[in-house]
Each structure stands twice: as structure tokens, then as C-alpha cells.
Amino acid sequence: MRLDAVSEILEASLLTGQGQLASEVQFACASDLMSDVLAFSLPDALLLTGLTTVQVIYTAEMASLKAVCFVRGKKPPEEALTLARARGIVVLSSALPMFECCGRLYAQGLRGCRAPAPRNNRA
């Protein structure tokens, strides 16, 4: 799904990445726990979060995420936006709650990042 479609579906405002809205995301993940994002996200995915610290952008970079959407109308500090611009990460902000953002995107065909199946350690 193209990021311009994501922005429209979520009624989101674009905070960074004006020239990158034609980029595609195949998956989305939603979390305020950056350790879960690192453990369970997939590259080139969209992150939905209510956490507005600069660590969100660092996490997105480490996980090779394409975009971050802050939910519930939250906006990150300018330091985070500056870092996102430098790292080429699209940043959106939607007034919708996280649950509704996830539901709208899922209904339009965007799938979630699935946790890997647990390993069977029995011999």
C-alpha cells in the first residue's frame, strides 16, 4: 500500500517525507514498546505508535521501517522530526486512536507483522 493511501485512510497529516508518499509498505505494526518493534516488525513496514520520543525514530531506523504514524493526534518533538528527515523516514500523525488506525488499514488490505512461530525445542 502506498504511503499516500495510508495517509488518506488514516486522515493523517504529513510531518516529514513529502517526496516519499509514493513509497510502498507491505505490513504494519502497532506498539508503544520499542523492544517489541525490534523483535517482531518486518523491513519496510509502517509503525503505528503513541510514543513520541526520539527513540521511536532510532528504532524505526534499526528495524528498517519505512514510516511512522503517531496516533491519537500526538506529535513528536522537533528533534525526532529532524532525525526522521535525516534518516529518510516518513512521519505521519493521525487524530484517530491506534485501534481504529489498525482496523482501517487492515480493512483496506494492509497486513500486520506476524510474530514468528515458537520453536519446538524438544529432541
pTM of the model: 0.90
In a domain, 122, yes or no: no
Domain CATH code at residue 51: 3.40.1390.20
In a domain, 29, yes or no: yes
Query: For the segment 43-94, what is each residue's pLDDT rounded down to a tens digit?
Result: 999 999 999 999 999 999 999 999 999 999 999 999 999 999 999 999 999 9
Confidence of residue 114 (pLDDT cuts 50, 70, 90): confident
Judge whether 35 and 117 are in contact, CB under 8 Å: no
Average pLDDT over residues 6-18: 97
In a domain, 8, yes or no: yes
Domain with 81, as residue range(s), is 3-111
The partner residues of 67 in beta bridges, in order of sequence, read: 46, 90
Q: Please tell me the total count of domains within the chain.
A: 1
In a domain, 70, yes or no: yes
Q: What is the pLDDT of residue 123?
A: 47
Using alpha carbons, select from 86, 92, 76 the residue that is nearest to residue 4. 92
Q: What is the pLDDT of residue 113?
A: 86
